[in-house]
Amino acid sequence: SVSHSQITRLYSRFTSLDKGENGTLSREDFQRIPELAINPLGDRIINAFFPEGEDQVNFRGFMRTLAHFRPIEDNEKSKDHNGPEPLNSRSNKLHFAFRLYDLDKDDKISRDELLQVLRMMVGVNISDEQLGSIADRTIQEADQDGDSAISFAEFVKVLEKVDVEQKMSIRFLH
């Protein structure tokens, strides 16, 4: 599991982001990070930290969300096969990415949702029609049960060959 010094470092980071010094972070605290503010999907990522309907996240919640990005090798050391699936399993990492697309949290990526996320990623550089056809094509390739939306299972199938473990993991330096 996470080492003591990693927790201390992240806590130190948490407190330096917490400008209001009240033990929780708000969305503004995240938006103050310039490199995150220029990320096209910055707002979606920030949203992932806040549970439904809440505006503040405490350190526990902060760590929970970041735990999705621990490298999978770490799990080899603590083989707890009877416990719940660890947050940084391949499946949970994929679920995190799925939730970035799934705006209304109905466990399906509809054409509309895909269009909205695509629009965030490309800004004003692509026309509506072109973006629409990209969205249509993507859904067509992924959709298997014919409901013109991508379920989580279909999402996993499309990405079965992608090296999720490496691309959705962040390593600590030491």
* x/- track of binding to other proteins for residues 73-112 (CB under 8 A): -----------------------xx--xx-----------
Among 51, 60, 46, 49, which Cα is nearest to 10's?
Answer: 60
Segment lying near other proteins (by CB under 8 A), choices 4-12, 50-58, 72-80, 81-89? 4-12
Place of tokens 């999705």: 68
Minimum CB separation of residue 76 from other proteins in Å reads 19
Q: Taking CB under 8 A as the rule, does residue 153 contact other proteins? A: no
Q: Taking CB under 8 A as the rule, does residue 67 contact other proteins? A: no
Residue of 1, 2, 5, 22 interacting with other proteins (CB under 8 A)? 5
In the complex with other proteins, the residue whose CB is nearer, 81 or 115, is 115
Neighbours of 172 (CB within 10 A): 13
Contact 141/154 with Cβ under 8 angstroms? no
Per the structure block, which two tokens stand in for 25?
Answer: 């972070």
> CA 78, 46, 48 angle in degrees (round to 5)?
50
Residue of 113, 117, 149, 151 interacting with other proteins (CB under 8 A)? 117
